[in-house]
Every structure is written in structure tokens, then in C-alpha cells.
Chain A
């Protein structure tokens, strides 16, 4: 057993080492004064200074965040409406149709989403740029929010709503005072998920950006094609820190969500 345990630990260690190698590599060389990723010549913060002096890059970072925040806020609203719509549908057949249509954008390859949105925006006459990127990010985030909110709705006891109605609450009051507070953890999880999807997306954005407008992924792609530049390393280190913060935030919310909600105790 001891030998087996050792072997499996080595296996896991190797998997972890490979998973983190590229990230560690990027961070390590972001402090290299040599200007390449070959050997470490000396410690410097020059590349970080370069990132903060690059106005174009900063505008792109700002664009990326504006798109991410706006699209996840709007898709959260749409997604909550969608989850409520699916929840209220009585007929099983309609419900399943809605659910499978909802999953189309989750499972389809990004290239197809990107290409089909490019056709759509050109047909409707939406200029490629901020609007098209925002709309497509909203489009692919909505189903994710639905999937995060729907299980929370389904685990809510319907007697809660009946009780509220018996006590004289109107439908708006039931929604804002009973339903939304109950599914709040799911809404937050959906919002965070949409946020990370939007920040991470490359393929869809690449199709619908057009000229002159760019988000971080697209920018990194075009810079990486030109060769190695350590300011990308510095930028990725900053992004890694941000991602870790986001993940911690997301898991914190998720953990709170998995604790027994107050209303559940009422159930027999």
C-alpha cells in the first residue's frame, strides 16, 4: 500500500506541476530584465511599468472590463427572467424544448457562435465594434445564468409562494420579497460565471470585433503572433492575480449558497 501511495502522489504531483508550469513560467519571466524567456538575467519591474505606460493597452483593458460588467449584468437580468419563464412553464414538452434551446449556445463550438453572430450582425446592420461584442457576450452568457438560477428555483418550496399569496402579496411582491431573495446565491453565481466567461472569451469576440476595437484576448492573440514580449508576461501576472481573486469570490458565494437556506427548515 505504501509504495502504491507514493506512486499515486508522484503522479498527482506531476499533473499539478504540468498544469501550473506555464503560469509559473509567465510570472517568473515577467521580472526578467533580459527581455526574453530564455534565461533570467536580473530582477526588474520595467515590464510592469511598460504595461502601465501603454495607454492603448490600458484602454483595451478598460474595454474588456466594461464589456464584462455590462454584459454579465444584462445577461443576469435576462437569465433570471429565462429561469423564471422555464420554471413557470407547466407542459413538460415545452419545458424540455426551452431547456435544450438554452443549451445550444453552451455546447456549440465558439467558432460557430462567432461566425453565425458575424452573419447576424452584418444582416441586421449592426456595426462591428463595441455594440456587436457586447451583444454577443450577453448572448452567450444568458444560458449560463439560466443554468445557475434554475436549480435554485426548483429546490424552492412552492408552498412559500402560496403562503405569500395567502397573506395578500401581489405577484410583484412575491417576486421581489420571496423568490428573488431565495435564489440570490444562484443569481450571484450566474453573474460571476458570466463575468469570467466574458473576460476569457477569445473566439467569439475575435469574429465580431471588426477594426479598431479590441479586447484583451484578441490583443494578446495579435501580440503573441508577433513574438514574445515580456509586457504580456507582466500583464498576465496581473490577470492571474485578478483571476485568483475572482475565483475566491466565486467559491465564497458558492459555499454560502450550498449552506441550508433559511426557508428550507420550514419543509417537513
Chain B
């Protein structure tokens, strides 16, 4: 018994050390730094600044874009996940849906610069249809499109899993009782897959709040999210205090979203969860 207790402690030591150093300490440091200005004086001014119209507007637009991205991703993903469960080799098709999410994100964003560029494929297609060349890159449309593109696999996966876990006899029962397909979907299928939808939304909304690479490459700095602002303050203006303050609010927002949508811990297993930028 004595030796068992000591081995237990032995496993805990490196793990807890890692946790204190890389989980607890960084969060505390962010909170600590949020109370200092550029010169290193203790101050609450960062928090006062956060509540000025400039930062409030940025926060609101960041939430608005994240909401749009989540809604569009859900609209595309739900039918996809549903149709995937009806296919014959569904695991193979699912793997093919997930595969692009394993390709380096930067490369996909870079490809969209070509696809959406003035002489890119999309504009050539628009010419052929007769609409004519449009400015696509550096617009809200391209930003939302590329973001949705990047996030749909993370939305499809949990919904697919929820659909798979559902007992099919419930659908037969609804049909036997005379429910139309739409009614069956609304009253039976959708409520039963709500957990999947929730964790999908969580996996999209939080990273969408903090996108910064796509805003720079695809939106041409037109869109400023909380993520862009943090990056700007840390790496460009070197105002770590203000950057930390925004980070504190992002952490709070994240905690609230996690609380509202329930903690989604399990979807990491079947593939990559997010790792978006």
C-alpha cells in the first residue's frame, strides 16, 4: 500500500508542475499585466479604456462577425452531417470531410488569396456568367466565407456524432404516428442532436472571436476582432497592458460561452478540434 501511494505522487509531480507553469501561471500573468500601462505603472486605465466607444464597438463587431460565422457554419454543416449519415461508406466520407482540416491553415488562406484575387478563378467564373469581375478579396464576404470554410469540419464532426448516437427507432415511431418529415426533424431529430449543435457552435464561436491571421490576409485589416487587437497590442504597439486587458475580457467571454453551451470535452477524439487562428 505504501509503494502504491508513492507512485501515485510520482505521476502527479511532473504533470502538476506543467500545469502550474503553463496553465495557471500564464492566466495569472495576463490578469497581472492588465493593470499596468506602457510605462510600467500600476493603473486601472486599461479597463477604463476598454469601456470607451472605440473598444466597445470593436468588441461588438467581433461578436457580430463570430455570430455570423457560427450561423453560416451551422447552416452548411447540419445538412452535410445529416446527409453524411445516410451515405453508404459514412466513415470514409467523414474522413474526407475532416482531411482538409489537417492541411496547414496558412496554406488554405493563401490559396484563397489566389482564388478570390482580381484575376482569380472566382472572378473568371463571374465573367463567364456575365456578372463581371468584382472586388472579392478584402471584403466582409471573403472574410466570412474563408472563416466558415475553415470552421465547418469542426461543426460537422460533433453534429455527425450526435446523429449517429440517436436511436433510429424514434424516427420510425414519429413516422408511424403520422408526423411529416419536417415535423419529425423539428420535434425529434433536431432536439436530440442539440448537444452536438451546441458543442459545434462552441468549437466555432470561441476561435472565431479571436481570429487574427485571416483578418490580415483575407480581410485586408478591414475587420478588427478581439484577436487582431490582442496581436496588435502585443506585437506591434508593444502595449502589453492593454493587450492583456482585452485578453482578460476574451477569457471571461469564453468562460460564459462554455457555461452556456456546456463543456465540450469529448470531440477532440475523432479528429482535430480546432487550432484555428
User: For residues 222 through 267 of chain A, which have their beta carbon under 8 Å from a beta carbon of chain B?
Assistant: 224-225, 228, 232, 236, 239-240, 243-244, 246-247, 251
The segment from B44-52, B159-167, B170-178, B266-274 that touches chain A is B266-274
Residue of A nearest to B121 (CB): A25
The segment from B17-25, B126-134, B188-196 that touches chain A is B17-25
Let me know if B117 and A115 touch, CB within 8 A: no
* Distance of A120 Cα from B21 Cα, bound (Å): 9
A239 is contacted by which of B18, B95, B103, B115 (Cβ under 8 Å)?
B103
B30 is contacted by which of A23, A115, A171, A246 (Cβ under 8 Å)?
A115
Residue of A nearest to B243 (CB): A115
A109 is contacted by which of B87, B207, B240, B265 (Cβ under 8 Å)?
B207
Interface residue? B183 (CB, 8 A): no
* Distance of A224 Cα from B272 Cα, bound (Å): 25
CB distance from A157 to the nearest CB of B (A): 17
User: For residues 1 through 42 of chain B, which have their beta carbon under 8 Å from a beta carbon of chain A?
Assistant: 3-4, 7-8, 11-12, 14-16, 18-19, 21-27, 29-30, 33
Let me know if A119 and B240 touch, CB within 8 A: yes
Let me know if A246 and B102 touch, CB within 8 A: yes
In the complex with contacts A19-B97, A109-B227, A115-B243, A199-B104 CB distance below 8 A? yes
The B interface is mostly helix, strand or loop, or mixed, namely helix
Additional 19 contacts, C-beta under 8 A, given A106-B268, A224-B109, A224-B113 = A12-B87, A15-B80, A25-B111, A78-B14, A84-B11, A86-B15, A104-B23, A104-B27, A107-B264, A110-B275, A110-B276, A111-B227, A112-B251, A117-B26, A119-B30, A123-B29, A147-B269, A196-B102, A202-B104
Using a CB–CB cutoff of 8 Å, the interface residues on chain A facing chain B are 8, 11-12, 15-16, 18-23, 25-26, 29, 36-38, 78, 81-82, 84-86, 88-89, 98-120, 123, 135-136, 139, 142, 144, 147-148, 151, 170-171, 175, 193, 196-197, 199-203, 206-207, 216-217, 220-221, 224-225, 228, 232, 236, 239-240, 243-244, 246-247, 251
Q: What are the nearest 10 A-B pairs in CB distance? A: A116-B26, A22-B111, A109-B210, A37-B114, A82-B15, A139-B22, A85-B11, A38-B119, A84-B11, A236-B107
